[in-house]
Amino acid sequence: MKNWITAIACTAMLGLGACDNMTSQQRTVAGATGGAAAGLVTAEALGMNSNWRLISALGGAAAGTMVAQNTNRTVCAYARGDGTYYEAPCP
């Protein structure tokens, strides 16, 4: 099981380099798909039931979409420590 998860993680890291020539819509779809896959793999690795797998896939898709959109805008979110955040240009 650990080898399977490691293989998926390595493949995902290699796939990130292919996002340079994508349009905004393609980047959003790729982020949602990658996030959903990461959420599903995490739930599977933790041995969760089907309800939690669905929830983690949906949460991962939402997070992946946000990351893709922020990457496209070159804006990063930084936590203030009090539960709020601010946006600033990425380093």
pLDDT at 58 over 80: yes
* Of 36, 38, 32, 40, residue with least CA distance to 68: 32
CA atoms within 13 A of residue 16's CA, in its CB half-sphere: 10
Question: CB of 50 within 8 A of CB of 43?
Answer: no
Question: CB of 59 within 8 A of CB of 39?
Answer: yes
The string of pLDDT tens digits covering residues 1-47 is 556 666 666 555 555 555 556 676 777 788 888 888 888 888 888 88
Whole-prediction pTM: 0.56
